[in-house]
Structure 1
Amino acid sequence: MIYLLAAFLPPLGLLFNGQPLSAVFNLALLVVCLLLGLIFHPLLVIPSLHALIAVRMQREKRMHREVVEAIRQYGPPQGYRR
């Protein structure tokens, strides 16, 4: 769901994902790309790509943090050798 929001309303998708600075940057990027996109149409896709990549990176970071916390709390998996 957050990916659809990030694709169609990039700044709003980033805000709902907890990335306010990225949302502000994406809003500025959106304005610039809308103005220049009148001449060069592929630029219209850049804000959506930025939002999708930023959402994915944030989710990867959260998943990594959860795994690290689980290892700290419960120890390494069985059979893990150092």
Structure 2
Amino acid sequence: MIYVLAALLPPLGLLLNGQPFSAVFNLVLIVLCVIFGLIFPVLLLVPSAHALIVVHMKREDRRHREVVEAIRQHGPPPGYPR
């Protein structure tokens, strides 16, 4: 659901994902892309792409931290060379 929100309303999706600085940067990016998007229409997709990439990276970072914490608590998986 957060991916759909990030694609349609990028700053709101970033805020709800816990990234206020990225949301502010995305607002600036929207203004610039709207201005220059009149000349190059493909630029209108840049804020949504930025939000989707940032949301994905944050979720991957969370997943990585969970795996590292599980390994710290329970040790490496069986058969893993030390």
- Which runs of no fewer than 5 residues in structure 1 stay unpaired? none
2:26 counterpart residue number: 26
1:81 counterpart residue number: 81
CA RMSD of aligned residues (A): 0.6
Q: Deviations over 1:3-48 (max 9, x none)?
A: 0000000000000111110000000000110111122100000000
- TM-score norm. by structure 1 comes to 0.97
Count of matched residue pairs:
82
- What is the one-letter code of the residue matched to 2:63? M
- What is the one-letter code of the residue matched to 2:64? H
- Which runs of no fewer than 5 residues in structure 2 stay unpaired? none
- What is the one-letter code of the residue matched to 1:27? L
1:68 counterpart residue number: 68
Query: For the residues of structure 1 that align with 2:6 and 2:34, how far apart are their CA atoms?
Result: 17
- TM-score norm. by structure 2 comes to 0.97
Q: Percent identity?
A: 72
